[in-house]
Structure 1
Amino acid sequence: MAKIVLRSNPNEIRDVHVIFMHGLGGNAENTWLDRKTKQDAWPLWLMKDCDDLNIWTVEYDAPKLKFNSSGMGIPDLATNIFENLLKIPELADGEIIFVCHSLGGLITKQILRLANDQNKREVAHQFIERVTGVAFLGTPHLGSDIATHGHNIFAKGLLRCLTFQQPSIAAASLSRNDPNLRELNTWYRDWCQHKALRHLVLIETEKMYGTITVVKPDSADPGIAGVRAIPIAVSHENICKPNDKNHEIYTHIKEFVSQKKRDFHKLWISSRFHNDINAWEGYSNWANCPHGTYVVVK
């Protein structure tokens, strides 16, 4: 089961929730440590630099290899995490921004698809209408060559001889040009065109261990209209690990989560009354409604 933890002050719930999703073989702790000291959880830096954020981490079981458990595939992971997100009272209100490393970005897209498919379910509709941003850090939207090589018969045999293990379900689903990944990305691109959703896309340009590019640029770029992917001179495991507050990874993400947010009242009403909010704009009592106070006109 997914473990969702509020890292910021639980006694001071603010307007914007930033949810960090790790990738394949990662976890909620080590994935988000800074690269310089490997001790600081750099998402917590955002709390000091932006005064309206709640910081959340999601941990889920996504091993690279089959050990005691083969883990779950992307659809099952997304369903499990989505249902757990909906159970958290503190996440029932406020804007939501996802920051995703690698596989975490694919799971996030699948979560949004689940919420969209369940649009007539009130809590699902309210959730998806409050998601206003997604940051993809080295996400393999079209899969990875490593997973492809690990999925062929020779590589499987070699892997089993060396480690006595096979790729996990999640790892096997990341094969390059996997039809399920391509279909999910096509759906996401089309769906985004009709949503007020901001994106940040960072792509790696260096090889991991100097030998292989885990997520190539064409796979790391989801191809969303109007969104330009930003190359970063790091390898896959480090595209989620800034050195310090001056590092470009951190400055890009800080700018992204601190950009002008959607109006609080419009966000609240659109999440509860679908997209039919034009009739509300003429009510002066709504326009002057203070933060946290709601006026319902029947």
Structure 2
Amino acid sequence: MATLTRVHEVPSADALHVIFVHGLGGEALHTWMHNPKDHTTLWPSWIGEDVGCNVWVAGYGASLSGWSDSAMHLADLGEALFSALQVEQDLKGRRFVLVGHSLGGLVIKSGMTQAQVLGDPQRVTLLERVAGVVFVGTPHQGASLASIAQGLRLLLRTNTQVINMANDDAWLKLLNGQFRALKTQYNFGVRVFFESKGVLIGRKILGISFGSRLLIVDRNSSDPGLTGVVPTAIEGDHIEIAKPKSRRELIHKALVEFLKGIDGGPASYPPTGGAPPVPWSNSADLPTTLRNTSAPLLSWPSTLSDGTWLMRPELEVLSESLEVESSGTHFLLGEPGCGKSSLLVRLAQEWQTAGRCVLAIKADRL
């Protein structure tokens, strides 16, 4: 579940709205405060005061380990965030900017790409109102900490969000490609910041650091690969860059400049370069509707990197079984990593090509 809390409000009806989305292990307010005991250090409030905009903070379950709390899959988090944005009355018809720290940036991308492919006209309208996206230490290509945590998953009981953030994750690469296509279509602004220091793994005694430093998101992973968007290095580690200590720091001044360059007036329908709202489908559009709905779940890689499909005898057996008992329930069982998902993706693609109606759904827990 995602929640939205307004932390700064301005009287102007045409003012821009800015939503801050925290990252892994973060919290709606404390992620953005360099002193959690002093509410005046809340960075989003500074942004509201200096830009003259409405500011919100989003909260959701983002625990690193299942020992402390369970967490939703990244795709579900994106859906939850955009559901919260859609039902918030004070955001109706208003343009807004999304600011994501670490995992929060991936949640934003997930919500935006799903809004595009699911075909719900209300979600498409919401997507059209996105005026800008800001990434703060977001691992577009994966994070080193996530890869380490995944290796220790039995000990840590790492949540699914952590697994989604591992280095060179195939799903992350696909998500980034979809986001880049959205940027081209809707032409919203993008700003990127990344850390220049590693997080201290050790202790500080009398101001002296003892231990080693781990760079969570490096320059390459922080770069979404968008033409004209140059990532900016911020002095500080992965945690520090989201909580500037003063308004003189680069990340604060750069974000203020970015937001002041965005028009916060009523959203136009559709925006320049955007697509018209998707109409509700009738029964004749059922195959197309099912194809669009299934798209996020059928994006699992089913071929080699060059697009080659390795023929598998199981595919023919599975197809024949479904032809014989088309109304039955079939179970495909196998060890983790043996290729069950790839096999089902291939089957669904072949059936879609043949003009059949296919709906792909995902159930992590029964």
TM-score, normalization: structure 1?
0.82
1:87 and 2:81 are equivalent in the alignment:
no
* Residue of structure 1 equivalent to 2:279: none
Uncovered stretches (5+) of structure 2, i.e. residues with no partner:
201-211, 277-366
Contact 1:241 1:249 in 2 (8 A): no
Identity of counterpart residues, as a percentage?
27
* Residue of structure 1 equivalent to 2:322: none
* Residue of structure 1 equivalent to 2:295: none
1:74 and 2:107 are equivalent in the alignment:
no
Matched ranges for 1:176-255 at <5 A: 176-209=167-200, 210-255=212-257
Q: Please state how far the C-alpha of 1:269 moved relative to its aligned partner.
A: 3.3
Deviations 1:237-290 (A, max 9, x none): 01111111111111011111111427x46x32326xx657xxxxxxxxxxxxxx
Q: Please state how far the C-alpha of 1:13 moved relative to its aligned partner.
A: 4.9
Indicate the structure (1 or 2) with the bigger Cα radius of gyration.
2
Matched ranges for 1:57-206 at <5 A: 57-67=57-67, 69-119=69-119, 121-152=120-151, 155-156=152-153, 160=155, 165-206=156-197
Q: Please state how far the C-alpha of 1:48 moved relative to its aligned partner.
A: 1.9
User: Which amino acid is the alignment partner of residue 50 of structure 1?
Assistant: V
Label 1:25 to 1:13 Cα distance change in 2 as closer, same or farther (>3 A).
Answer: farther
- Quote the Cα distance in structure 2 between the aligned partners of 1:140 and 1:151: 15
- Quote the Cα distance in structure 2 between the aligned partners of 1:222 and 1:33: 26
- Quote the Cα distance in structure 2 between the aligned partners of 1:218 and 1:55: 30
Contact 2:193 2:234 in 1 (8 A): yes
Q: Please state how far the C-alpha of 1:47 moved relative to its aligned partner.
A: 2.3
Corresponding residue SS for 1:7: strand
- Quote the Cα distance in structure 1 between the aligned partners of 2:220 and 2:275: 34
User: Which amino acid is the alignment partner of residue 181 of structure 1?
Assistant: L
Corresponding residue SS for 1:112: helix
Contact 2:141 2:168 in 1 (8 A): yes
- Quote the Cα distance in structure 2 between the aligned partners of 1:37 and 1:67: 26
Contact 1:36 1:244 in 2 (8 A): no
User: Which amino acid is the alignment partner of residue 123 of structure 1?
Assistant: Q
Q: How many residues align?
A: 264
Contact 2:131 2:262 in 1 (8 A): no
- Quote the Cα distance in structure 1 between the aligned partners of 2:60 and 2:215: 25
Q: Please state how far the C-alpha of 1:36 moved relative to its aligned partner.
A: 10
Label 1:234 to 1:35 Cα distance change in 2 as closer, same or farther (>3 A).
Answer: farther
TM-score, normalization: structure 2?
0.67
Corresponding residue SS for 1:82: helix
Label 1:117 to 1:232 Cα distance change in 2 as closer, same or farther (>3 A).
Answer: same
Uncovered stretches (5+) of structure 1, i.e. residues with no partner:
277-298
Contact 1:239 1:249 in 2 (8 A): yes
Using CA pairs under 8 Å that are at least 6 residues apart, name the structure with larger relative contact order, 1 or 2: 1
User: Which amino acid is the alignment partner of residue 136 of structure 1?
Assistant: F
* Residue of structure 2 equivalent to 1:47: 48
Corresponding residue SS for 2:57: strand
1:268 and 2:268 are equivalent in the alignment:
yes
Runs of 4+ in 1 over 6 A off after TM superposition: none
Contact 2:20 2:99 in 1 (8 A): yes
